[in-house]
Amino acid sequence: MKKYVYSFGGGSADGDGKMKDVLGGKGAGLAEMSRAHLPVPPGFTISTEVCNLYFQSGNKVPPEVDQQTSEALGELEQQMGQKLGDAQNPLLVSVRSGAKFSMPGMMDTILNLGLNDQAVQSIERRSGNPRFAQDCYRRFIQMFGNVVLEIEKHDFDQIFDARKKKTGAKFDTDLTAEDLKAIIVDYKKLVEKKTGKPFPQEARQQLAMARDAVFRSWNGKRAITYRRMNQIPDNLGTAVNVQTMVFGNLGDTSATGVGFTRNPSTGEKAFYGEFLVNAQGEDVVAGIRTPQPISELEKAMPQVYGQLREITGNLEKHYRDVQDFEFTVQEGKLYMLQTRNGKRTGPAAVRIAVDMVKEKLITKQEGVLRVDPQQLDQLLHPVLDAEAKKSLKLLATGLPASPGAAVGRVVFTADEAVVQAPKGPVILVRAETVPDDIHGMEVAKGILTSRGGMTSHAAVVARGMGIPCVAGAGELEVNERRKELVVNVNSKKLMLREGDWISLDGSTGEVFAGQARTIDADPSSGVLATFMGWADEFRGKFGVRANADIPRDAKAARRFGAEGIGLCRTEHMFFAEDRIPFMQAMILARDEKTRRKTLAKLLPMQRADFAGLFKEMDGFPVVIRTLDPPLHEFLPKRENLMVDLARLPHADSKTKKEMSQRYGLPVGQLRKELPVLLARVEELHEFNPMLGHRGCRLGVTYPEITEMQARAIFEAAVQVTKKGVKVIPEVMIPLVGGVKELENQKKIVVEVAAEVLEKANMKDLKYMVGTMIEIPRAALTADQVATQADFFSFGTNDLTQTTMGLSRDDYTKFQKDYEKAKIFDNDPFAVLDQEGVGKLIEMAVELGRQARRDLEVGICGEHGGEPSSVQFCYRAGMNYVSCSPYRVPIARLAAAQAVISGDKSEAMRTA
């Protein structure tokens, strides 16, 4: 018969610490501690497999599970000399969850199971402590009633609090045995009222019901949410641990507590935890009473404290990791109830890994693998002071689009942000951002939008700039016209106006009213520098670059360890206030001669931009993408123009002045020029601009644009090279669907390069011309495209859209439905779709390298900073990944972990 139930305790166990898949983390820890002869109350674990069988069988366990449970219970009763539900010498047990991965507080627990009206009298007689017995019974009825019978905890609390008020009890411990008996009577009345049945008295029935409730809690709302947040598979299931009760509430010689072998917040090698005298485990975590620091246990119970330090120290050495433990002291005797690898913050994870390597507990390789790359976010951005959060009003929780903390005054337009930023910090609040907002985004301390997703414009640009951003906070109603932000908080409407203080936590998505304190991050931390140095040792030749558009971003990228720029978006440079008029004039031009005239004014500006990037990236490659967005994005919105044209005949002088500033036109020319502007906007209007006249298609229609940008690139390269800076330019042509488009644009770039370099006598300056693979056809014909490309860079934002037929801006409207229906495991714009988009990438890499063995291959979409996507890129044979500057350390660590894990494509990468 297949084994489903595993016993532990008494110096032996059916399982061991390696069986987390079967026993869950808690069960595996109990088995391992039992085998080590530690003081573990005996019990048994019902395996995680039974959880899945329970749901598959219509919320029933198979008969063989009931049989094995009964046998294990019989052995436990014999071992303890007690019997579950016995009126004379009752056995009491706890029933607790325990999944493979720690999910603290997400599933259910029942303590003191086995008590009934007869058993409580026996406990009272045997302990000689009536209050203790009645306290255990009232706790059991409350927990069982809430967890198993699904009665609101609030209903029990009302009864309990009413009794405290009636007796004048300040603390729970002030209630007498008689008070607790009265509470029990009322609890039982509540149960019968809510369920229509008396509280169950048969102990084995209680056990079966509690077991099933713990299984059901695996699919509880909070457990599902936690798994989604932490990417824990839904099919793992939870084990159920049935363990003999030990009691920390037997008086002043008894206690209960939780702790860590090191500080889980800072990583400091210090004993960390809390305990309560005369309490049960739930009291410590429920906040009913204020626990004492675990260091105080040394004074209260010195012998127990010494034993606890010795046991937990040995556990840390045994598991070679920080241990999160639970313990109970019953009348002076210590019992260990749990040990598991402890969860920790990002700063703590890095410090613990470095310290344990230095202590020779683990190897460097193990240390690098110990830290979740995403945790590094916490070390790289300012964070809100946790204590400060408590005093602020939470307005909403949106998507944590760009990490870090931001505190400032609300502004609703990019222009106002520019005006107000010199006076103090501002937060740009928009329904959604557009490329025109770039100047305001640049000066804002943070960005908040009520619409958009993790890869929306606001999110992508904010991450690139290292600006905290909360996107898609749908609870907020942003009225940009009235300059108001409205939200319902506790059924009350709260309004913030321009100039009011607001605080964002881009790491959690929380939005607070008011001015919070922030704590600065230190990216040059000695511990972090040491750790990242180890990661780079293992990463080897697998490169990490940054997406950066301006020298400031490039400087930040180098500070975070980027080995070049993998994407410079030249269009962002054109949105600057001093350049947009020239860009608009170029677009409005009706002939090539006029266009070239305006492009000549943009040339020195672009040249200066590129020179700044080359200077910051001395000796590292810089990939510059030629103009990508459709031209209408540089012009005023069609709807706004139509409204202003309608208002113009009736506008007063103030309104006309505002229009003049908005469109960069003299007041006297508004009547003549606005219709011309609207006509051009109408002409450029597209039904599907994402697939319209943009990218290389613009260069084919207007080759002079590509020519100007190429000239700016190579003139900047010459200029900077003369100053002793090593320049490695890589020109990237976007939105190529086939080899002929690339051939057309490459010809222009090569001709301009030859002219500029020959004139400067720098013919030996090395450069590359390649393309962004973001259209499925380019991937499918990659062998042809590679004949003209020196490199491929996968633009996975658009490649995901075009492959899946899914708009990243509109997907957010039904994203939750898809996640709930489990159609997508992850947001495909945040985590690369390896089954679909990934197959195209692998195909393109293979085809490209068949045509050109030395083809350089990288990725420059947002996926370049997401750990699982980085690991895929390594397996696919890419040379590098590129991401926003503040995600560079994350990508470096993910890359190192990918290399350590091994890869079949190394031969392709180094060919």
User: Which tokens sit at 123?
Assistant: 């406990």
Instruction: Spell out the residues 6+ positions from residue 193 whose beta carbon is closer than 8 angstroms to its own.
Output: none
Instruction: Spell out the residues 6+ positions from residue 902 whose beta carbon is closer than 8 angstroms to its own.
Output: none
| CA–CA distance, 213 with 107 (Å, rounded to integer) | 10
- DSSP-derived letter for residue 263 is -
Give the torsion sign (CA, 596, 600, 605, 608): positive
User: Which tokens sit at 736?
Assistant: 């190529």
| CA–CA distance, 446 with 383 (Å, rounded to integer) | 12
- Picking from 426, 459, 424, 463, the residue whose alpha carbon sits closest to that of residue 444 is 426
Task: Count CB atoms within 10 A of the CB of residue 509.
Answer: 18
Instruction: Spell out the residues 6+ positions from residue 57 whose beta carbon is closer than 8 angstroms to its own.
Output: none
Query: Are the C-beta atoms of 701 and 593 separated by less than 8 Å?
Result: no
What is the distance of C-alpha 569 from the center of its chain? 26
Rounded to the nearest 10 degrees, the angle between the axes of helix 670-684 and helix 653-663 is: 40
Indicate which residues carry an active-site annotation.
457, 860
Q: What is the largest CA-CA distance in the chain?
A: 104
Query: Are the C-beta atoms of 341 and 319 separated by less than 8 Å?
Result: yes
Give the torsion sign (CA, 821, 827, 831, 836): positive
| CA–CA distance, 686 with 629 (Å, rounded to integer) | 12
Look at residue 446 and give its three-state secondary structure.
strand
| CA–CA distance, 478 with 886 (Å, rounded to integer) | 28
| CA–CA distance, 337 with 30 (Å, rounded to integer) | 7
- Picking from 113, 114, 30, the residue whose alpha carbon sits closest to that of residue 327 is 30
Residue count (the chain): 911
Q: Residue 428: in which H helix or E strand, if any?
A: strand 426-430
Query: Are the C-beta atoms of 791 and 730 separated by less than 8 Å?
Result: yes
Q: Give the pairing type, strands 93-99 and 255-260.
A: unpaired
Q: Give the pairing type, strands 518-519 and 399-402.
A: unpaired
| CA–CA distance, 308 with 298 (Å, rounded to integer) | 10
Query: Are the C-beta atoms of 545 and 621 separated by less than 8 Å?
Result: yes
Task: Count CB atoms within 10 A of the CB of residue 594.
Answer: 13
What Rg value do the Cα atoms of the chain yield, rounded?
A: 33
| CA–CA distance, 626 with 735 (Å, rounded to integer) | 10
Instruction: Spell out the residues 6+ positions from residue 379 whose beta carbon is closer than 8 angstroms to its own.
Output: 346, 347, 350, 521, 522, 523, 525, 528, 889
Give the torsion sign (CA, 622, 624, 746, 787): positive
| CA–CA distance, 887 with 726 (Å, rounded to integer) | 25
DSSP 529-570: HHHHHHHHHHHTT-EEEEE-SSHHHHHHHHHTT--SEEEEET
User: Which tokens sit at 753?
Assistant: 């390069």
Query: Are the C-beta atoms of 518 and 382 separated by less than 8 Å?
Result: yes
Q: Tokens 């704590």 label which residue?
A: 519
| CA–CA distance, 903 with 878 (Å, rounded to integer) | 11
- Picking from 453, 443, 447, 456, the residue whose alpha carbon sits closest to that of residue 474 is 453
